[in-house]
Amino acid sequence: MILPKGYRSPELAYAVEETDERGEILGQLGAFFSLHAAEACLSRLESEGFTNLHINMIPIHTRLDDWEFDR
């Protein structure tokens, strides 16, 4: 695959999210650039009694052109 000139790969953010029993997202409890930090946050929240938590990986583009190429 040939990438467009100036293309920059997206960064990844890891969002700790809470869902209801149907899997609908209720809210984001934290977001991190490190999976390790997101896992630590998830563990801490679970120890505080939160349930139905998961980590959502979110690609973050710095330019609209890069996002258009990845669509």
Average pLDDT, the chain: 93
Residue type, position 60, single letter:
I
Domain limits of the chain? Answer: 11-70
Model confidence pLDDT, tens digit, residues 36-52: 999 999 999 999 999 99
- Report the pLDDT value the prediction gives residue 71, as an integer from 0 to 100: 82
The verdict on pTM exceeding 0.75 is: yes
Averaged pLDDT for residues 20-34: 94
- Report the pLDDT value the prediction gives residue 3, as an integer from 0 to 100: 84
